[in-house]
Amino acid sequence: MYCTNCKVEVVGNRKSCPLCQGMLAGEKQEEVFPKISFVYTEHGGFLKVMLLISVIISSVSVALNVMLPRAGAWSLFVLGGIGSAWISMISAINKRNNLPKNIVYQVIIISVIVVLWDLLTGWRGWSITYVIPFVCFFAMISMVIISKIRDLYVEDYILYIVIDGCFGLAQIIFVFTGWLTALYPSLICIVTSVISLSFIMIFKQKELSAEIKRRLHI
């Protein structure tokens, strides 16, 4: 393809010149650059259906809440739940190619969301007593299982296990401050974190050190 205005050759099957937008002359060729498929494009129909369902549920909930005001502002919980689900899903989609990193992001997002919910509903401590400890616990177990199933290299997940383990050790603060209504979830999380971090420091210290230096460009 050739642009008589710009006096340049253009490879591909474009109709117009990328410089002047004028019509190109000559025979079209195969496109040089491959078409990149995005997950939002591949699953656009499913996401649109989910979005429509979310809008319907939100609208109906708000309308019913307005009609029945004596029941309290329960529609806010519905809106918050739908919003939380979308935040978690978008994060999971964007980090889908790195499952250990995806899990860490999910732990952080879920922890922030449940703490905010606990604060907005009068703070009963269920977020730091039950949800966060079990989320950290299952995150560490999931990373180990995924690493074995997908046969990942140690460098691909070791740093994320350390981050989640340190996040789990933060439960020690809540234990000594007396903010917890039950101890066993936090104790399970703390013990699992100590075992995970101890195993890494004893058997995988070189890999961890190399990964930290690589991340920090040392």
> What are 6-56's pLDDT values in tens digits?
988 888 778 888 889 888 888 777 766 666 666 667 777 888 999 999 999
pLDDT, tens digit (0-9, with 9 covering 90-100), for 192-203: 999 999 999 999
CA 98 from centroid of its chain's CA atoms: 10
| DSSP letter assigned to residue 25 | B
Pick the more confident residue, 73 or 124.
124
Q: Is the pLDDT of residue 96 over 80?
A: no
Cβ atoms of 201 and 177 within 8 Å: the answer is no
State the pLDDT at residue 91.
Answer: 81
Report the predicted TM-score, pTM, of the whole model to 2 decimal places.
0.73
Mean pLDDT of 52-68: 93
Task: Write the burial class of residue 100 (CB in 10 Å: 0-12 exposed, 13-18 middle, 19+ buried).
Answer: buried
pLDDT, tens digit (0-9, with 9 covering 90-100), for 154-213: 888 898 999 999 999 999 999 999 899 999 999 999 999 999 999 999 999 999 898 888
State the pLDDT at residue 150.
Answer: 81
State the pLDDT at residue 132.
Answer: 95
How many residues in total does the chain contain? 218
| Cβ atoms within 10 Å of 42's Cβ, excluding its own | 10
* Domain residue extents for the chain: 1-35, 38-94, 97-218
Pick the more confident residue, 43 or 99.
99
